[in-house]
Copies of this chain bind each other. A is one copy, B any other.
Amino acid sequence: MPDHDRPSLPEDRLGQLLKRAQAKLARASAEALAPHGVDGHELTVLAVLSDAASLSQVEMAGRIGVDRTTMVALIDGLEDQGLVARRRSPWDRRKNIVELTVAGQDCLSRAEQARRGAERRFLAPLGEETAASLVRALRVLAGEERAHG
């Protein structure tokens, strides 16, 4: 049976490679973030808030790509830890304005540094040039249209 006619085994399939690489990085990131008391989703919320100053919960949900019902519990957890604060918008009393607290900014700085370290260590085996090329390729495949980050 010629090689190109033999069905691909799991370990040769692109989907499996992407899945395993993602899972491995997720584990490494989780380990790096654990000391800072936030998980990946929570760190994302903090980072988006840091970029946008303040957003309503639906706006946050849209940015992050989760449902607004999922956002509720996420913000609950962050608020319980004192990392973000909710307040009613005076202009539209249906909306919650969510903002970073000082503790939240501090946590973000530390946790983001830890996350970057994990990402850097994860990519280290590739070398700088290959790693950059991988990221470029993934941006294309993921449908990321931004010219450069």
Q: Which of A13-21, A74-82, A83-91 contacts B (4 or more CB under 8 A)?
A: A13-21
Contact A9 B130 (CB under 8 A): no
Contact A140 B112 (CB under 8 A): no
A10 contacts B by Cβ under 8 Å: yes
How many identical subunits does the complex contain?
A: 2
Contact B137 A130 (CB under 8 A): yes
Task: List, in ascending order, chain B residues with CB within 8 A of A25's CB.
Answer: 14-15, 18, 141
A92 contacts B by Cβ under 8 Å: no
Q: Which A residues, 113 to 149, have Cβ-Cβ distances below 8 Å to chain B?
A: 115-116, 119, 122-123, 125-126, 130-131, 133-135, 137-144, 146, 149
User: 9 shortest A-B CB distances, which residue pairs?
Assistant: A7-B47, A18-B22, A20-B142, A17-B138, A21-B141, A7-B112, A134-B137, A21-B142, A12-B149
Query: Which residues of A come within 8 Å of B, CB atoms?
Result: 6-22, 24-26, 29, 40, 44, 46-48, 50-51, 63-65, 108-109, 112, 115-116, 119, 122-123, 125-126, 130-131, 133-135, 137-144, 146, 149
